């Protein structure tokens, strides 16, 4: 079955979404991510969506839910690399992903996670 | 439409081309106050070409049906001429005069040519008159169309000119908004800002609304949307240039700006932005 890889970098998990997300894939990612946070004792999660051109309301909600779940498991989530068109669409849909922190790219996302860890 | 009269026009146009052209040009130039705009030679050339094309069209289509395919070339010439005159600043009347001033010398010729046959003359004058009216109206229509496209283009340019995104510092962008914000403009503003954030990798954008005359709920909502979109991409926004009256309006309208950093002046916002990106500004020591 198709899965989105989750990479471990120190106490951080890096998820780079490079294929179009469909709902089943999103749910699998949620399951995988939560179990990996516990297994690897991760303190931070970085979700890179720079390759995504389309984010629908389901994926948007999935991302904010995942962030909330990670928070309960004591890991901070940073969403990076959102395209302008995606940002405009999400705002028009009324999904401002409250509670999810964002950064322009992976580099800045890592910085942000390190800052909060200190 | 009686077929007896058709054919006269083509013959008169061909036979008396030079006389007609002189009469026409004379009428046109005497009526045109602003003679400098189009050189006389150019008008002469256009007029000559017009007569040739009309002769060709009348021969192909003796029913004088201006919408028919035989008249395509004539229509094309008139459209081209109208578009050129819009750019040169002619009025619609001046543009239509080009067609209408040919009527007079043409009717004179018709009268001489059909002097013996009053019925044919009347019919021919009516038909030719109708045809030239159609052409005149078409010219004005084309003039209008060209003018509208010019206005559209200017609107587009104005839209782009009035929403510049400037980089104030490494990682700091500023968006000085000028004029009324409506939905179409906000869309352009948002797209420009987000694109520039990607290009420069900026982490802070200052939206300066000093030049925005009024802020109603819709404008405030547009601003909040822009701020939210920038935040989704990982950039913070500061709204600056809020005048006292606008602050009052915002509160009276019940718009919630609590999640957004706001400053009264662009200078204040810039200082906050510098602090956030880790830069400090110190006054240089001057030696006395």
B149-191 per-position pLDDT tens digit = 999 998 888 877 778 899 999 899 999 988 888 777 888 888 9
pTM for this predicted structure: 0.66
Residue in A48, A78, A82, A84 to test binding to B, most B beta-carbons within 10 Å: A84
Q: What is the pLDDT of residue B34?
A: 55
Give me the residue label for tokens 């920038």: B230
B2 in contact with chain A, both atoms CB, cutoff 8 A: no
Token pair recorded at residue B286: 């001057």
Which whole-number Å values give the CA distances from B95 to B25, B85, B190, in the listed order? Answer: 14, 7, 42
- Which residues fall within 8 angstroms of residue A41, CB to CB, at 6 or more apart? A11
Map out the domains of chain B as residue ranges: 8-158, 166-277
Q: Inspect the interface and report whether the beta carbons of A104 and B233 lie closer than 8 Å.
A: yes
Token pair recorded at residue B115: 């002097």
In B, residues 237-266, which contact A (CB 8 Å cutoff)? none
Token pair recorded at residue B125: 């004058």
Report the SS3 class of residue A96: coil
| B111-127 pLDDT, tens digit each | 888 888 888 888 888 88
Q: Inspect the interface and report whether the beta carbons of A82 and B195 lie closer than 8 Å.
A: no
Q: Tell me how far apart the alpha carbons of residues B110 and B122 are, in angstroms, rounded to a whole number.
A: 10
CATH 3.30.750.24 matches B166-277:
yes
A84 in contact with chain B, both atoms CB, cutoff 8 A: yes
pLDDT band at A78 (very low <50, low <70, confident <90, very high): very high
Please count the helices (runs of H) and the strands (runs of E) in chain B.
10, 5
- Backbone phi, then psi, for A19, in 5-degree steps? -115, 160
Assess whether pLDDT exceeds 50 at residue A80: yes
CB A84 within 8 A of CB B194: yes
Assess whether pLDDT exceeds 90 at residue B9: no
Q: Tell me how far apart the alpha carbons of residues B130 and B144 are, in angstroms, rounded to a whole number.
A: 21
B184 in contact with chain A, both atoms CB, cutoff 8 A: no
DSSP H/E element including A58:
helix A57-72
Residues of B in contact with A109 (CB under 8 A): 234
What single-letter DSSP state applies at residue B33?
A: S
- Which residues fall within 8 angstroms of residue A18, CB to CB, at 6 or more apart? A51
* Cβ count within 10 A of residue B189: 21
pLDDT band at B36 (very low <50, low <70, confident <90, very high): low
Which whole-number Å values give the CA distances from B214 to A89, B2, B168, B209, in the listed order? Answer: 26, 66, 26, 10
Q: What is the pLDDT of residue B58?
A: 81
Residue in B193, B198, B233 to test binding to A, most A beta-carbons within 10 Å: B233
Superfamily classification of domain A6-110: STAS domain (3.30.750.24)
Report the SS3 class of residue A102: strand
Q: Tell me how far apart the alpha carbons of residues B104 and B211 are, in angstroms, rounded to a whole number.
A: 56
CB B210 within 8 A of CB A68: no
Q: Tell me how far apart the alpha carbons of residues B169 and B263 are, in angstroms, rounded to a whole number.
A: 18
Report the SS3 class of residue A7: strand
A104 in contact with chain B, both atoms CB, cutoff 8 A: yes
Q: Tell me how far apart the alpha carbons of residues B244 and A75 are, in angstroms, rounded to a whole number.
A: 43
A97 in contact with chain B, both atoms CB, cutoff 8 A: yes
Task: Tell which wins on pLDDT, B39 or A96.
Answer: A96
Report the SS3 class of residue A16: strand
Q: Tell me how far apart the alpha carbons of residues B161 and B159 are, in angstroms, rounded to a whole number.
A: 6
User: CATH number of the domain at B8-158, please?
Assistant: 1.10.490
């Amino acid at each position: 079955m198709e899965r989105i890889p989750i990479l471990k970098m120190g106490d951080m998990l890096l998820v780079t979404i490079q294929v179009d997300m469909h709902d089943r894939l999103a749910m699998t990612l949620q399951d995988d991510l939560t179990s990996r946070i516990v297994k690897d004792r991760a303190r931070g999660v970085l979700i890179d969506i720079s390759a995504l051109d389309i984010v629908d309301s389901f994926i948007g909600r999935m991302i904010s839910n995942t962030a909330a779940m990670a928070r309960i498991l004591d890991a901070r989530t940073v969403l990076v690399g959102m395209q302008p068109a995606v940002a405009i669409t999400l705002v028009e849909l009324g999904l401002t992903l409250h509670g999810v922190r964002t950064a322009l790219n992976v580099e800045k996302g890592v910085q942000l996670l390190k800052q909060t860890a200190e | 439409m009686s077929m007896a009269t058709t054919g006269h026009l083509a013959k008169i146009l061909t036979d008396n081309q030079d006389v007609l052209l002189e009469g026409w040009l004379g009428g046109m130039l005497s009526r045109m106050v602003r003679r400098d705009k189009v050189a006389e030679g150019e008008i002469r050339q256009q007029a000559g070409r017009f007569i040739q094309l009309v002769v060709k069209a009348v021969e192909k289509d003796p029913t004088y049906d201006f919408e028919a395919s035989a008249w395509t070339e004539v229509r094309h010439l008139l459209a081209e001429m109208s578009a050129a005159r819009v750019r040169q600043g002619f009025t619609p009347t001046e543009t239509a005069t080009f067609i209408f001033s040919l009527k007079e010398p043409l009717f004179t010729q018709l009268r001489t040519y059909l002097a013996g046959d009053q019925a044919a003359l009347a019919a021919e004058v009516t038909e030719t008159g109708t045809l030239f009216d159609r052409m005149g109206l078409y010219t004005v229509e084309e003039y209008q169309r060209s003018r509208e496209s010019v206005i559209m283009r200017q609107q587009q340019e104005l839209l782009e000119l009035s929403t510049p995104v400037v980089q104030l510092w490494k990682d700091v962008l500023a968006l000085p908004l000028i004029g009324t914000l409506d939905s179409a403009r906000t869309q352009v503003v948002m797209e420009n800002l987000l694109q520039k954030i990607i290009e420069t990798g900026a982490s802070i954008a200052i939206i300066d609304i000093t030049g925005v005359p009024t802020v109603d709920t819709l404008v405030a909502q547009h601003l909040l949307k822009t701020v939210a979109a920038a935040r989704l991409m990982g950039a913070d926004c500061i709204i600056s240039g809020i005048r006292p009256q606008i602050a009052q309006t915002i509160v009276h309208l019940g718009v919630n700006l609590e999640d957004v950093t706001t400053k009264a002046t662009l200078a204040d916002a810039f200082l906050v932005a510098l602090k956030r990106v880790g830069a400090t500004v110190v006054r240089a020591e001057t030696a006395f």
